[in-house]
């Protein structure tokens, strides 16, 4: 039951019924004449649990709410509703000073390393920033600590890199700087938001390996946000697939790829271009695009695009139900015993 | 006729032949050699995948074919022969008759390529009439409706503005603009990079359908090996401004000859592969203003030897319509150290 949030106590991170609604700004006239405030339901009732050392992938298309979820769990964005419990502490119940102290435990790595770094600050200073503000380390010791971190993430010779500025580094090296900075104060939880999306193809594997190495060495719990299913498959042991603010399916990486249950997960996997010309063609593609989160479809959010839609889908929202062990899916086909249509579709291919 | 020219294909099939093309970007401080000595041909009806990392020169090569290299960029040498005439020898006026009407380009980001305060239909009318003022506005509009219909966009949306369209629809509009004047060659520069995976697959499907419907040739510029495997007949792999390898798509993926192509394929994760270990390529792509001597890949190449550091390797024939630029291939194609995949 680790995925649907049943038992309490063993999990390191518990995310419970998380919601984040962003109100939409209206003009003055509209404000005067209409009472209802519209909101973008970026994250709508998301629950998951992570054990220490998990590498958990949140995958989905843009607008699915994966980044918002990641930011909330890292303590950077207050949820509209729901709880984030890390190591037994409900982080949004903390006072601001408590949250500040707690931040040592959680760090972020963003997609674009150039905009995550101050262009006027040497990378040695940048990596030392968290140590300066969040630890008691003496200034005299900081330089050595930073040099050691730089060696650790492969920025060597470290004393040569220490005084350089971000623009003097390649994209991959900058991402190493950001990773070094994130691990500098010994976090236990790391959120990496599309960490390789902007890195050159030939350097991506280096960065993925580095993240996994740091994860192992520091026993980090890693939340990886990515749109790239191949990256998620390579790095994660658990994956949740999000669509319009909801988790559609979650499970162990192996199970999810071997036996994708939700029609949306299947469509996503089908659409990925495979670097092997023998797989060419014959794809069953979904039509349409992800709708606006301002006014999501009633019932199952995926029903207007789902090839297997039936009456109940437009009326009632399916809950996330575990049909196989540690593998949950939010789809009426499974609760109604109609999942055989998916198998039939798979075989006929 | 120089190296790199595939002569076996017969002259009349060749639509585009690029010979020893070099392009530089000059600044006061330095000169970036974006494209160096690239020779490659394209047959009628062919899809050529042009792959490489950022800075490999793939987009610059596309822009050069369009005659769109502007200062501080300069085409320093080479020929671009399209349908028998060298585009570099044409006047700006004559080039304008080719651009758009014979060769069209589709760019990556549809939102910045479309004017936000102009209706979709007006984009088409302006584009069509800029290239051929003799076409009336009404005719241009009916062409626009026709093209939009081919793209799966209802013609009732012709008077909508770009912001009313989703990302995928905008990219369809851009593709339609490329097609509007019925060109014979489309150069698509990362046409699906800004799109989500499902929409990407839709657009790729659309492009291959339209390609046969309009009997187009296509140069598809991308960094995504998956997209290339899906779409291309032949693949050209660029590295640091030079061609590393050109081969049929099957050969590129099944028995890549150049160490860079091999390394690139080993470094990309594949959802179909079972628990494969990725092999990272050490180092980073070189700085184009300060290129290494010899083969540009030698600092990262596991097989590099002295000659690689001193001389630039030329393209060597590795099969029918296939070439690679590596000294290891000289005289012995089936070298054991260059293992074939699978």
Q: Where are the domains of chain A?
A: 13-347
Residues of B in contact with A279 (CB under 8 A): 229-230, 272
Nearest chain A residue (CA) to B233: A277
Q: Residue B230 and residue A205: Cβ atoms within 8 Å?
A: no
- Average pLDDT, stretch A163-187? 93
Q: Which of A62, A275, A281 sits opposite B196 (nearest CB)?
A: A62
Count Cβ–Cβ pairs < 8 Å, chain A vs chain B.
129
Give yes or no for residue A6 having a pLDDT over 60: no
Residue pLDDT, tens place only, A230-239: 999 999 999 9
CA distance B47 to B44: 9
Please give the pLDDT value at position B251.
94
Give yes or no for residue B134 having a pLDDT over 80: yes
Residue pLDDT, tens place only, B240-268: 999 999 999 999 999 999 999 999 999 98
Q: Residue holding tokens 């071997």?
A: A258
What DSSP designation does B293 have? Answer: S
- Average pLDDT, stretch A160-164? 94
Is the separation of the CB atoms in A43 and A15 below 8 Å? no
Is the separation of the CB atoms in B142 and B152 below 8 Å? no
Residues of B in contact with A257 (CB under 8 A): 271
B3 forms beta bridges with none
- Chain mean pLDDT for chain A: 89
Q: Residue holding tokens 């437009």?
A: A314
Q: Residue B205 and residue A61: Cβ atoms within 8 Å?
A: no
Give the helix/strand (H/E) hosting A66. helix A66-73
- Chain mean pLDDT for chain B: 89
Reported as a pLDDT band with limits 50, 70 and 90, residue A30 is confident
Q: Which of B227, B267, B285 sits opposite A204 (nearest CB)?
A: B267
Residues of B in contact with A286 (CB under 8 A): 198, 202
Nearest chain A residue (CA) to B253: A276
Cis peptide before B72 (omega within 30 of 0): yes
Please give the pLDDT value at position B132.
87
Complex-level ipTM? 0.86
Q: Give the list of residues 6+ apart from residue B333 with CB closer than 8 angstroms, or none.
A: B257, B318
Q: Residue A289 and residue B198: Cβ atoms within 8 Å?
A: yes
Residue pLDDT, tens place only, B63-122: 999 999 999 999 999 999 999 999 999 998 899 889 989 999 998 877 788 999 999 999
Q: Residue A273 and residue B279: Cβ atoms within 8 Å?
A: no
Reported as a pLDDT band with limits 50, 70 and 90, residue A133 is confident
> If you compute the radius of gyration of chain B from its CA atoms, what whole number of angstroms results?
21
What token pair was written down for B341?
Answer: 């995949």
* Percentage of chain B lying above the pLDDT 90 cut: 66
Give yes or no for residue A3 having a pLDDT over 80: no
Give yes or no for residue B275 having a pLDDT over 80: no
Q: Could you tell me the end-to-end alpha-carbon distance of chain B, in angstroms, rounded to an integer?
A: 37
- Average pLDDT, stretch B205-228? 92
Superfamily of domain A13-347: P-loop containing nucleotide triphosphate hydrolases (3.40.50.300)
CA distance A122 to A164: 5
Q: Can you point out the beta strands (E) in chain B?
A: 14-26, 31-43, 47-51, 73-82, 85-86, 103-106, 185-189, 217-222, 234-239, 242-248, 316-319, 322-324
| B285 min Cα distance to partner chain A (Å) | 8
* Percentage of chain B lying above the pLDDT 70 cut: 92
Relative to beta strand A221-226, strand A39-50 is: unpaired
Is the separation of the CB atoms in A155 and A176 below 8 Å? yes
SS3 B47: strand
Tell me the whole-structure pTM to 2 decimals: 0.88
Please give the pLDDT value at position A19.
96
Residue pLDDT, tens place only, A200-209: 888 899 999 9
- Top pLDDT among B177 and B331 is at B177
Neighbour-count burial for A272-291, b at 16+ CB within 10 Å, e otherwise: bbbbbbebeeebeebeebbb
Classify burial at B336, counting beta carbons within 10 Å of its beta carbon; exposed 0-12, middle 13-18, buried 19 or more: exposed
Q: Residue B269 and residue A209: Cβ atoms within 8 Å?
A: no
Please give the pLDDT value at position A53.
95
Q: Residues of B at the A interface (Cβ-Cβ below 8 Å)?
A: 53-54, 166-169, 196-202, 204-205, 223-230, 249-250, 253, 263-265, 267-272, 278-282, 284-285, 300
Classify burial at B307, counting beta carbons within 10 Å of its beta carbon; exposed 0-12, middle 13-18, buried 19 or more: middle
Is the separation of the CB atoms in B261 and B252 below 8 Å? yes
- Average pLDDT, stretch A289-295? 84
Give yes or no for residue A2 having a pLDDT over 50: no
């Amino acid at each position: 039951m680790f995925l649907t949030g049943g038992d309490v106590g063993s999990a390191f991170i518990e995310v419970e019924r998380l919601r984040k609604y962003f109100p939409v700004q209206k003009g003055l006239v509209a404000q005067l004449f209409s009472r209802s405030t519209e909101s973008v339901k970026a994250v709508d009732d998301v629950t998951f649990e992570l054990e220490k050392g998990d590498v958990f992938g949140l995958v989905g298309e843009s607008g699915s709410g994966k980044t918002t979820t990641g930011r909330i769990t890292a303590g950077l964005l207050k949820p509209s509703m729901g709880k984030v419990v890390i190591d037994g502490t409900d982080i949004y119940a903390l006072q601001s000073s408590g949250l500040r102290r707690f931040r040592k435990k959680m760090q972020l790595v963003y997609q674009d390393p150039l905009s995550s770094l101050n262009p006027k600050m040497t990378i040695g200073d940048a990596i030392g920033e968290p140590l300066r503000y969040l630890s008691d380390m003496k200034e005299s010791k900081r330089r050595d600590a930073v040099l050691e971190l730089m060696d650790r993430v492969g920025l060597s010779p470290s004393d040569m890199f220490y005084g350089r500025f971000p623009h003097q580094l390649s994209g991959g090296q900058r991402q190493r700087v950001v990773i070094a900075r994130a691990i500098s104060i010994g976090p236990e939880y790391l959120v990496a938001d599309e960490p390789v999306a902007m890195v050159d193809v030939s350097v991506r594997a280096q960065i993925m390996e580095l993240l996994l190495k740091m994860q192992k060495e520091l026993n980090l719990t890693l939340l990886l946000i990515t749109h790239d299913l191949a990256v998620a498959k390579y790095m994660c042991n658990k994956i949740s697939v999000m669509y319009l603010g909801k988790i559609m399916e979650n499970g162990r990486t192996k199970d999810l790829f071997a036996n994708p249950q939700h029609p949306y997960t299947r469509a996503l996997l089908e659409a990925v271009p495979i670097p092997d010309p023998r797989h060419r063609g014959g794809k069953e593609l979904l039509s349409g695009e992800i709708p606006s989160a301002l006014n999501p479809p009633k019932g199952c959010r995926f029903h207007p695009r789902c090839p297997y839609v039936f009456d109940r889908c437009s009326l009632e929202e399916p809950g996330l139900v575990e049909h196989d062990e540690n593998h949950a899916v939010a789809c009426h086909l499974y609760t109604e015993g109609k999942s055989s249509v998916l198998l039939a579709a798979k075989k006929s291919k | 006729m120089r190296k790199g020219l595939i002569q076996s294909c017969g002259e009349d099939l060749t639509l585009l032949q690029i010979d020893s093309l070099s392009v530089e970007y000059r600044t006061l401080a330095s000169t970036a050699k974006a494209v160096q000595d690239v020779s490659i041909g394209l047959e009628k009806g062919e899809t050529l995948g042009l792959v490489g990392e950022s800075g490999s020169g793939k987009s610059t090569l596309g822009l050069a074919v369009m005659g769109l290299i502007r200062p501080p960029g300069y085409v320093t040498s080479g020929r671009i022969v399209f349908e028998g005439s060298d585009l570099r020898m044409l006047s700006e006026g004559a080039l304008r008759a080719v651009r758009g009407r014979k060769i069209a380009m589709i760019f990556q980001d549809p939102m910045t390529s479309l004017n936000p305060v102009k209706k979709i239909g007006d984009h088409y009318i302006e584009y069509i009439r800029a290239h051929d003022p003799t076409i009336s506005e009404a005719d241009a509009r009916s062409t626009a409706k026709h093209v939009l219909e081919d793209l799966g966009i209802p013609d009732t949306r012709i008077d909508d503005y770009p912001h009313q369209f989703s990302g995928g629809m905008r990219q369809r509009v851009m593709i339609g603009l490329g097609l509007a004047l019925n060109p014979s060659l489309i150069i698509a520069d990362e046409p699906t990079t800004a799109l989500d995976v499902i929409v990407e697959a839709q657009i790729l499907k659309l492009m291959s359908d339209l390609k046969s419907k309009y009997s187009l040739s296509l140069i598809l510029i991308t960094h995504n090996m998956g997209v290339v495997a899906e779409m291309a007949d032949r693949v050209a792999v660029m590295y640091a401004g030079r061609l590393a390898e050109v081969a049929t798509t099957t050969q590129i993926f099944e028995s890549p000859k150049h160490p860079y192509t091999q390394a690139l394929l080993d470094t990309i994760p594949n959802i179909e592969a079972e628990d494969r270990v990725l092999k990272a390529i050490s180092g980073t792509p070189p700085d184009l203003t300060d290129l290494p001597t010899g083969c540009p890949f030698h600092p990262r190449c596991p097989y590099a030897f002295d000659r690689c550091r001193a001389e630039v390797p030329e393209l060597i024939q590795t099969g029918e319509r296939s070439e690679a630029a590596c000294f290891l291939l000289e005289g012995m194609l089936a070298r054991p150290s260059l293992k074939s995949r699978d």
